Amino acid sequence: IQSILCVSSDGNMYCCTFYADQQIVAWSQVVTNYGKFENVTVVSEDGDDYAYVVVNRNCRRYVERLQQLNVPTDKYKYRYLDSYLEGNFSEKTLVVSGLNHLEGLEVAVYGDGKVQSKKIVQNGTITLDEPCNEIAVGLPIDCELKTLPVITQSSSQLQGFVKNVAEITMRVSYDGDIFSNNSTANRLYKVKLNDIYMGKFDERSKVVRITTDGSWEHDASVIIKHNNCLPLEIQAITSNLAIEDYSRSK
């Protein structure tokens, strides 16, 4: 897997990832809350490449380092936050200080393997919901995925027909909340934490089902959103699709 990172004039960062052996290329947009990217570079450290960015936030510039996207097996080590600081205290701590770079901003808090309610940083300090030993505090990240228009290998003509996604089935491995619906819908539905095959929700890969509003459109795309500071891995997406009558449309 190889990637190219670039910063645009609007302050966003874009990533082009490609699999050379499979000839797959995909672009994604990286947005930082309350700030704009100004520069990016990649530095090799201990055999791995790490991206360093210059971010202009609150009229001050910060140099921040992007971690590798490896999902840790220890829930205490989940760190899906932007511009975060972490600490491991010998005694349980209720008040966290030293957050001056996030002054006045709403931050997400992850302590001892649990998500706490969001806080506003005042005088570089926040008060936790409950004291913890291992704490990470940073800007929340809203991740959103929109699927490509539906076509099939056997009939590329589908891209010219009106379609309706009645239901979405996903195979995922995740923590936190997932929301989804048709891309044209005004609301998102929360995924129920049940595996439709195994019945019991556990740590393994699982299949979950989401009911959509249903909407007749040409693209038949769906939106999937995840906004916790927890990992999410989507392994497959399947849509229950209805297609307009071919004979009537020709």
Quickly state the pLDDT bin for 231 (edges 50, 70, 90): confident
Q: Record the pTM.
A: 0.72
Which residues have a Cβ under 8 Å from the Cβ of 28 and sit 6 or more positions away? 14, 15, 17
pLDDT reading at 222 higher than 80: yes
**pLDDT for residue 56:** 93
Q: What is the mean pLDDT of residues 188-208?
A: 66
Q: Identify the weakest region by mean pLDDT among 27-41, 58-72, 100-114.
A: 58-72
Of the pLDDT bands very low, low, confident and very high (cuts 50, 70, 90), residue 248 is very low
| Mean pLDDT value of segment 180-185 | 78
Token pair recorded at residue 5: 């990172």
Lowest-pLDDT choice from 88-97, 124-133, 141-150: 141-150
Say if residue 245's pLDDT is above 80.
Answer: no
Query: Residue 7: pLDDT above 90?
Result: yes
Is 211's pLDDT higher than 80?
no
